[in-house]
Amino acid sequence: MSLREYWQAAQEQGREQAEADGSGHRRYAKAWELYKLGVPVMSSNGGPDPALTEAALDGMLAAEQGRRATLYETFARGGLMVVFQALGVQLLSGEGTVYTIGNHDPLTQTNSSLPLGLLTGAEAMVTDGPQGRGRLALLPLAATALDTRTAADAAVVFPDGTVHVRALYGHMEIRKAQRHVARFNALADAAAPEAAKVDPGHAVRLQNLQELREAGLLSREEYAAKRAEIIASL
């Protein structure tokens, strides 16, 4: 190979390396943007998933931005929001879906909330707290323990197994979460098919029943029996 050919080969190798480096930097930048948007694209080594090409990342970015823009319009048209700050969730009135509490940004016209599941069949509770995280069985925190606890978890459990957990710190926040649990579960009960025609009196009875259960004054079996009794009287 002549000197000129060596030089040309080196030039071509340099161009290929520069293109590879540029593509790698672009992939990382796009993956990092998706990561900031809450889309899991990073591998365990801290870089983008090797299986994701630059084109795939472009598509994922476009899809997430489109989702946020669509959700912004949905929330803007939907009107009343029911926010359970202590549980970390919110409901769009009349829509029946439970969302995380994201950022509704008029400047970019995007909403970063994430759908968690349907209100129908969902159940909220205050659980034992940090030491209970990760367990498959979530045990509601009894009312007798509320005044002595400074840390707990608020959990919303959906029929498909999805669990949304928010850490609680301090007596006041735990008490607030307990109140939000009662309100959320009353709405979930009213959204259930068998309770579709519940009148305000029945709704109040269901909410009171839920509050008694959360206060530890009714066992799970007693709660289920009383709830069935109320539903049967519709």
Confidence of residue 231 (pLDDT cuts 50, 70, 90): low
Predicted confidence (pLDDT) at residue 229 exceeds the cutoff of 70: yes
Percent of residues, the chain, with pLDDT higher than 70? 72
Residue predicted with more confidence, 80 or 176: 176
Q: Are residues 129 and 215 in the same domain?
A: yes
Same domain, 132 and 184: yes
Query: How many other CB atoms sit within 10 Å of the CB of residue 86?
Result: 22
pLDDT reported for residue 189: 87
Residue 170 lies in a domain: yes
Domain boundary among 73, 94, 117: 117
Can you give the pLDDT at residue 166? 93
- What is the torsional sign of CA 51, 52, 56, 59? positive
Of 62, 96, 117, which closes a domain? 117
Q: What is the pTM (predicted TM-score) of this model?
A: 0.65
Count the Cβ atoms, other than its own, within 10 Å of residue 174.
23
Q: How many domains in the chain? A: 2
- Dihedral (CA of 74, 79, 80, 85) sign: positive
Kindly state whether residues 93 and 9 are assigned to the same domain.
Answer: yes
Torsion, CA 120, CA 222, CA 163, CA 130, rounded to 10: 150
Nearby residues of 22 by Cβ (< 8 Å), 6 or more positions away: none
User: What pLDDT does 54 receive?
Assistant: 86
Task: Give domain status of residue 33, yes or no.
Answer: yes
pLDDT-wise least confident of 47-51, 98-102, 161-165, 193-197: 193-197
Query: How high does pLDDT run on average in the chain?
Result: 79
Question: Are both 96 and 125 inside the same structural domain?
Answer: no
- Which residue is associated with the tokens 């999805």? 162
Q: Is the pLDDT of residue 133 over 50?
A: no
pLDDT at 99 over 90: yes
For residue 117, count CB atoms less than 10 angstroms from its CB and return exposed for 0-12, middle for 13-18, buried for 19 or more.
buried
Whether residues 84 and 176 share a domain: the answer is no
pLDDT mean over 41-68: 86
Domain assignment present for residue 47? The answer is no
Q: What is the distance of C-alpha 229 from the center of its chain?
A: 33
Q: Do 142 and 92 share a structural domain?
A: no
Number of H helices, E strands in the chain: 5, 9
* CA dist., res. 123 & res. 220, Å (int): 13
Average pLDDT over residues 78-98: 87
Strands 151-157 and 123-127: antiparallel
Give the pLDDT of residue 195: 45
177 and 80 co-located in one domain: no
The residue out of 85, 117, 149 marking a domain boundary is 117
What is the pLDDT at residue 20? 56
Q: CA-based Rg of the chain, rounded to a whole angstrom?
A: 25
- Residue 154 sits in the same domain as residue 200: yes
- pLDDT band of residue 110 (cuts 50, 70, 90) is very high
Domain of 181 in residue numbering reads as 119-232
pLDDT in tens, 167-189: 999 888 998 999 999 999 999 98
Distance in angstroms (rounded) separating the CA atoms of residues 54 and 31: 9
Is the pLDDT higher at 124 or at 78? 124
Same domain, 134 and 75: no
Q: Do 129 and 174 contact (CB within 8 A), yes or no?
A: no
Specify whether 16 is located in the same domain as 81: yes
Q: What phi and psi, each to the nearest 5 degrees, are found at residue 53?
A: -80, 170
In a domain, 65, yes or no: yes
Q: Assess whether 189 and 221 both reside in one domain.
A: yes
Does residue 97 surpass a pLDDT of 70? yes
User: Is residue 61 domain-shared with residue 111, that is, in the same domain?
Assistant: yes
DSSP annotation of 147 reads: G
194-224 confidence digits (pLDDT tens):
544 445 566 667 777 777 776 777 776 777 7
For residues 114 and 38, the answer to whether their CB atoms sit within 8 Å is yes
